[in-house]
Structure 1
Amino acid sequence: MLSRTALFIVGFIVLLSGYSNGDNWKTILKDKKGTVTFYWYPNNVIIENSLDIIDGIEHDLAVSFVDYLEAMYDVEIELQWIETQSFDEVMEKVRLGNGGTFGASSLSITPQRKRIFNFTEPYMADIAVLVSNANIPVALSEYQLGQILQGKTAISIRSTTLVDALDKLKNNLNVDFEVEYTNNSGDILDQINNRDGSFGYVDIANFLVAVDNNTNVKRQLFFPVKLEGLAMIYPKNSDWKDPVNDYFNSARFQEDRRKIITKYLGSNASEIINRISKSAEIGPLEEIVLSNREKEAQYERLLEAAERDKEAQRLNILLISIIIVVIVILLLVYFLYRIKSQNTERLLQQQKMIEDTNNQLRGLNEEKNNLIQVLAHDLRSPLANIFNGAQIIESQEKLSEGGNKILGFILQSSEKMQSLIDKILDVDAIETGRHNVKKETFDISHIIKQVVQENESKASEKAISINTNLSENLMVEADKVYTTQVLENLLTNAIKYSPSQSEVTVSVKEDGKMIKISVEDQGPGLTEDDKKKLFRKYQQLSARPTKGEASIGLGLSIVKLFTERMGGEVSYDTEVGQGTTFIVRLPGKG
């Protein structure tokens, strides 16, 4: 079979041609194929035209009808839909047609129409109820209903049983009202829903849909109309009576009808229509069924309203909760801001205190440096006199063995004091900028040899061997005096803290653009606490000189200070109990 969209296009082309008949049943049986034509006019839920696909109760029944015939008689039938411009046109097209020509537009079975058309078995109860706009009160008696409807406006469809019902209502109530006409039952409901003071008859199916959709329409309790049923029509001279009766009298039709009506109207409406259709008239029991459905719909609307109220309450609670959370967050932000401001203020105060303390410390440090400088200079002259006097006595006087020992001690102590004063003044001169670095290019190996030679006697006193691993022509760009002092301090420390019968190794090699000088000893190594104090002035480390040599804690601080002033760097490698290697890197001169 063709798709629904294709069928609609075919129907539209036929519509442009003005008229089309379906094939005779005998022709279809002979050729095993043919066409069935359905003329239709939109009547809300009975037939729908949505997105170019014909849909609805009568459409689905027609499709089931054709499917049934194709399966039972092994034929192929094309289902063709042609939309008309009015309800009357549907009946006129079928009246003039023959063969497989049908009409579908929620048509009521009436004696008058039976004389003109053949009808299928009814697929739905034909019940029309009187409805009005919600602003019209529900009448409690026929007399009150007449008073209410007097002068109002009725909405209906021409040439239908709905407008016939309005004519009977006028006669029964002896009232006068105006009738306005519209296109279909859906339009009747729409106009009554939107117009105050309007009323009209609508079929039960559309009314139940309106009830479920919560429209502004009420049912009046009097003068419902029940006819034989809603069915499809086909011509009196058609030979389709046997296949039509075959399907519409079958159990398959009853099952299809139930499923299709439930599909479009819902199970509640389908059940109500089914119950009402079993009685000849709308009596008290049928009225109870309708009233119950209306009350159920009202109850459902109340439940929906209650649920909306609950949802609104939940939203209000949520909104209040959000507002509370926002307020709490704002308060928290405010308090955090206050705390931050207070902390900032405290930090500023502490910063000022630190700056004041630093200024005081700088002042004290400057006073200390001045004092050291004055003391060092003032001590130089007495020490020089003591040293010179001791030398004169040593050269001119013959002393006893004890006297010579005392004199040697005086000379040694004076020399140490003089060396200490020189170191203190050198550090002070560097720190205060009074001594400028004088860089020159020289062979570092020559300086190392000189320093090693000068310290060999000290090493031999402790049976320490000084090993060298040197390369000639390794040129550095540095201050020769500072370099000599750095190497002197490192080698002196290595000898001072190394045990007897050990070795000290001095090596030098290229390290990229730098010259790397290493002084390795076999002393006690440095502890973690020693590492924290290393290179700081006047610091005493855990290790002690192995022969009681004097140490004031300036040697390594001078090494670091002098090396960095020359553009070099100092590092070390140590392990407790395994010794220490101090490494000095100075800028090379390629």
Structure 2
Amino acid sequence: MKVLLDRLGIRRLLNLGVTEHLGLESSVRVQLSNLIAVLGIYSNIQYSIFFVIAGAPHYRIMNLIHVCVITSLVFVLYLNIKGKYTLSRVILVFTVSVPLFFVSTISFGSSGGFYYYFLMFAIVPFVIFSYEEKWWILFVFLMNTGFYIWFEFFGTPGKFEEGTLLYRKEIQELFRINSVVSCLSFVALFMFYFLRNINRIQKEMTRINDHKDRIFSILAHDLRGPMGTMSNFLGYLTTSLPERDELIFGLKELKKTTNQTYLVLENLLDWVQNETKKTQCNPKNLSLSLILKNTLDILNIQATDKGISWEINVSETASVYCDERMTATVLRNILSNAIKYSHPNGRVSIEAELVSQFMEVRFQDNGVGMTDDLLSKIIEGKRFASGFGTVGEKGTGLGLLVCMELLKEQGGSLQVFSQPQVGTKIIIRLPLIN
């Protein structure tokens, strides 16, 4: 179905004017406005043809009105593209009622049931206006309801020329049936689309609440512990003068704790920025070996304390076309995890080679590995609980999720292969300069 809609260009029409800066609720209203405008254009073209075939009274005047209405509805789509959403909706709710008013006044009268559409348009403002625009909702609702009541109870039947299709009662009844079915179909379509997007909004709210809880959990547990450790050690230094060896050991531990806290904060900020779509990608030609060297320097103390050795096979001339901060974050997270889940005195290999239009970088460790369930969550991009490292290191469970999102933002990709108690292999692909 989605493929068919894409081929017909309908999805593109419905998303005219929808930008990443709009909230989900506002985007839904713009899409519904586009849907009503597109249906209005289609209906006016359809009825213009029917009126000519059926010999409707004053069909030339009605077709001229249809042309004006179609032009106005196209202008509504243009206003959405330009971001003038309120003006677009105001013009829309008045424009869609115009042909119905004239067809029920100068052409069909109360015959054919065209005035039934006023009931449908009475509910349209409820789905395209926000609660803050309640006076517009009330005005349009009362206007269309008033039109319906007038034509239902005070309208007169149309006068049709003998010999035309509309002179026959059964054809008039067919028009009436078509009006009823069309109204119900359009209302069902609006309601279905509205309910579908309400469901999307509810899921988005659930996701946001889940993210909020995750952030508070990280702040409460993963940051409070390291910060408490640093505070205690600094308090110890201010009240006593330790021996030189104790001081060096304590400073190393302080440095390691600081690095871990920094990584947690960095992951948290990158994750939040990406989730709120505030991440800015500024790609340029970068030296992969230089970024890798800077990353290893940051993780040097962490690796040395566990006796982790590096096996690096990356050319000095290897380059990628990426955002420097994003790429550094990806490498830091992958290598930090490799250290965390490797056994003491383990080995981590890093190699890079050109594959098609990408630089493929492979990271291999012989650590604890991952279960199939955990691996499937990572592949699907789902949140998962982070386990402790081999010597009790803590994590947020955000590292690989951040990596996947940052790589996707740059046009790259990430693959994970792992077996419990065997190790983990991660392959990332970084784009090259065009």
TM-score tier, shorter chain, comes to 0.3 to 0.5
Which structure's residues are more often strand, by fraction?
1
| TM superposition score normalised by structure 2 | 0.47
Query: Could you tell me the TM-score, scaled by structure 1's length?
Result: 0.35
Higher helix share: 2
